[in-house]
Structure 1
């Protein structure tokens, strides 16, 4: 009797297993729950109450989802993959930045070819920016899609979906007229908005998913810099410095940098296909020899101090300009007219001051300044061949016009103005040293000013211009490491010896930056 009872219990357990297998094979089961007495299996089409005798505790039944559900889960998992979203962000950002660049240059060529109206190109383009502001009314062109708002929201999609395209259009109109701003800020915002739109595929409920959304925002910003400058490594450093300085280090170390680097490389690739791959900075020769030019390091540090002073002047002038526009608004002037007023100031200063170089024309004006610093180009005839006066006037005018344009409501970035100011300031220092140090060479034969031989070699003025560009960019835009890497990529990596003086100049303005940002970045890179 006992043997037959044990045999019946074993057969009952085996029957339960077979019944579960049959149900799993023939019925699209969603879930199965075992209890001590019986189990009820829920079907996708109907409920099947199938009592099954209890199994031993070490046995369990794991029921797989239906085939359609498995396909949907795989599709959702692929679409929400961090690397996939970063790839889409990089490709989309690179494409939009190329289209924006083409739009700016086509419209700029059209405005400059207008008979007798080329001088008014800044005003004509700013008129359409004012028209956009008028049509937007109280909404304006900022508030939800600008970079500061996206960072504050943690990378969530903007509430007003029409704001981002209109800001990109306003940036194209602003730059096409030559107003004193740059395209890199709009490029970063384009990448950030693309990433914010893609973040809808992420679940926002958990802390890990919120960190992934922040990483995706950083990847979009990295792709904006990479596409705007054709500099993927600088894009990676920019995202680490400016976007992820306060992110959770665990998720940033695990998933952030790969996403940002992938997006930046893809965006730079699209930019190369659409805009070309030649270096943006055109220099025949520049460099720094540590073994024979080490004595120049204090000079480069002094240049960094001057660049920090220029950044302070730009911020102060911007506050004054903003106060002036606020006074005009208090007196009854409509705010949508301010872009036209700022453009009129740009047109008057550039035309009557004989300093057309302050107008935005891509990197063309920066390359003209570098050639003038190098001596291969003469300044305009109005300056009687004096490059020092010309460079000094360009610095003052560019700071003033950039502050006015940014405070008026025109849309653009500060990267291009910072590089221009740095090239002029560094070139001014380099040319001044070369032009006024030659008497010392009469009683100090070891000092070589016009040749690259001797124990003490003076670097060419173009080297000072390159270092000044990095120092001004780092101090004005608050991205010191990005500035160092970006200048190397812009110059095509011709001479890595210039890294030491560049770091010395940029490091001079670091005490004015929040030290927590750099410490967080250092920990993220080391881990």
Structure 2
């Protein structure tokens, strides 16, 4: 890529500071994402006008039921786009997996058509949201710039996270929530080195989110997403009522997540009792989903599309009956699952907000019917606000993002306390009942469980005599930029570990008269060479340690080496790369069997020889 080479040569020539480069690139990510989200929103509006104004007027003259075909027509176009771009894993789990396992290298070439598919889906009335595609758009822009500039995997991950923050910031006009979303969801499952440099990480993410939000305000306007009348919490005694809403929100969030999963499995032919049907072809899937959307449009239009108009009505205390609110809750849950599983493209933020608003308003209305007149409570819209944040937090598993997002969307801080209470309880209950974030942790543990400490440990660590003066030890550590050293007695038995922090804590004392044995840490945790890296990391985390001595299993005072946290991180990244290469080789074997046979015949090589050459080429290209 010629542009990539030119930019890299410029960076090599002028050699600007790394922090300056990252901040400039973060600004570019923010500007590009903000512009992209504005164009995406305009495209959604254009599609909605095309489908539901121009086309709907013509069809309505034929038969009022004919408008049910509109989502089907839009869905067919979406299905062909998805087949063309070969869309695979989507959503926030796919994004966090790409950050953790693929060094943030996303297939950015597909994002224009994928964004078009999302705009056509939402324009056709699919019960999904625009925020997921906005986040994906920003993440791919960050990945593109990182790959063009040939950054390291660590920096590309950071730019992907900055792009995600920029996408959410522009999509909701909520830069603070965008920052916390990137930290909670995108980087939350990564074992990478970003955590060791948190200040730089936050700075880059904040810059991208703020710039993107500013661009979106210029293009889309700076008004909050929802206009609210005044609602106040009536008293501290009302807080338990909001906790009750948090409990209900947890069950709605779990039901929502399970509905999405079941719908995907159903259309993919993965439901055991329905497996005989097999996977439904993409065009047929989306026709079924589009038909459901179209029929819903004729009978219950409040639940189709993004749904923010209905949410606005609820927050304005629209006179819906309690039973109608419950009907909207069930219909939205079912329709979103169908749209998601059938192949329409969109996010789950907006449906979660819709479900939370309906749940909260129904809960508030029910309380108004059963609470005595002597105990006045807040109006249903106040409970709707809290429900929006609670269901969103339970669905996305990002409580801080949900609280800040609702604050930025409404710009009303009067119900922050009940908001935090309900969100916190909902997020905790969801994680206890339906744990999902732990899957990434378990995946990391599975990888580290397969690697033995003996493969990674430093077998020749720095060591000091117990009688060495502290000042001399300090000079050795600082001159070589070391962090720690083992302390051994005259019999070469382990006494403890001395670190630069140990020396700093004793600077006020007379160090010239002290030895390292007097200041070293003696109450040590240690590990054995035949144990796994997962076990070593677990022991480090119990006391926030950076290293552990590796000792003989039978003679614990005999040191075999030392294992450091940084070495575990490196081993984990290497294992992921090794797995990616193995997957690439496996894919090459399945995709090119005929080529291998042809090459083996035409070049007079054996099949095994050609296969080895293919593996070598796959490794080079990876």
Per the shorter chain, which TM-score range?
0.7 to 0.9
Task: Indicate the residue corresponding to 1:286 in structure 2.
Answer: 231
Aligned 8 A contact 1:141 1:166 in 2: no
Q: CA deviation at 1:498?
A: 0.7
Q: Secondary structure at the match of 1:182?
A: coil
Q: Secondary structure at the match of 1:319?
A: helix
1:317 aligns with 2:259: yes
Task: Indicate the residue corresponding to 1:477 in structure 2.
Answer: 396
Task: Indicate the residue corresponding to 2:277 in structure 1.
Answer: 331
Aligned residues: 412
Aligned 8 A contact 2:158 2:194 in 1: no
The runs of 5 or more residues in structure 1 that have no matched partner are 1-68, 380-386, 450-457
**Match of residue 253, structure 1, among 198, 202, 223:** 198
Report the more deviating stretch, 244-253 or 119-128: 244-253
Task: Indicate the residue corresponding to 2:207 in structure 1.
Answer: 262
1:131 aligns with 2:80: yes
Q: C-alpha deviations, 1:5-27, integer Å up to 9, x for none?
A: xxxxxxxxxxxxxxxxxxxxxxx
**Match of residue 420, structure 2, among 503, 518, 521:** 503
| Match runs of 1:360-379 below 5 Å | 360-361=305-306, 363-371=308-316, 374=317, 377-379=318-320
Q: CA deviation at 1:112?
A: 1.0
Task: Indicate the residue corresponding to 2:172 in structure 1.
Answer: 229
Task: Indicate the residue corresponding to 2:549 in structure 1.
Answer: none
| Separation of aligned partners in 2, 1:217 and 1:140 | 19
**Match of residue 433, structure 1, among 367, 380, 384:** 367
1:301 aligns with 2:243: yes
Task: Indicate the residue corresponding to 1:166 in structure 2.
Answer: 113
284 and 161 in structure 1: CA distance in 2 versus 1, 3 angstrom threshold = closer
Task: Indicate the residue corresponding to 1:391 in structure 2.
Answer: 325
Aligned 8 A contact 2:399 2:427 in 1: yes
Aligned 8 A contact 1:188 1:222 in 2: yes
Task: Indicate the residue corresponding to 1:486 in structure 2.
Answer: 405
Higher relative contact order (CA 8 A, sep 6+): 1
1:461 aligns with 2:380: yes
Q: Secondary structure at the match of 2:229?
A: coil
Aligned 8 A contact 1:230 1:272 in 2: yes
Q: C-alpha deviations, 1:160-214, integer Å up to 9, x for none?
A: 543222211111111001111001110110011000001125555xxxx433222
Aligned 8 A contact 1:80 1:201 in 2: no
212 and 131 in structure 1: CA distance in 2 versus 1, 3 angstrom threshold = closer
Task: Say which one has the larger Rg.
Answer: 1
Task: Indicate the residue corresponding to 1:11 in structure 2.
Answer: none
| Match runs of 1:85-100 below 5 Å | 85-100=25-40
Q: Secondary structure at the match of 1:216?
A: helix
427 and 330 in structure 1: CA distance in 2 versus 1, 3 angstrom threshold = same
The runs of 5 or more residues in structure 2 that have no matched partner are 1-8, 61-65, 442-540, 545-622
Q: C-alpha deviations, 1:258-286, integer Å up to 9, x for none?
A: 11111001111111111111111121122
Aligned 8 A contact 2:68 2:291 in 1: no
Q: Calculate the TM-score normalised by the size of structure 1.
A: 0.72
Q: Calculate the TM-score normalised by the size of structure 2.
A: 0.62
| Separation of aligned partners in 2, 1:425 and 1:106 | 31
Q: CA deviation at 1:154?
A: 4.4
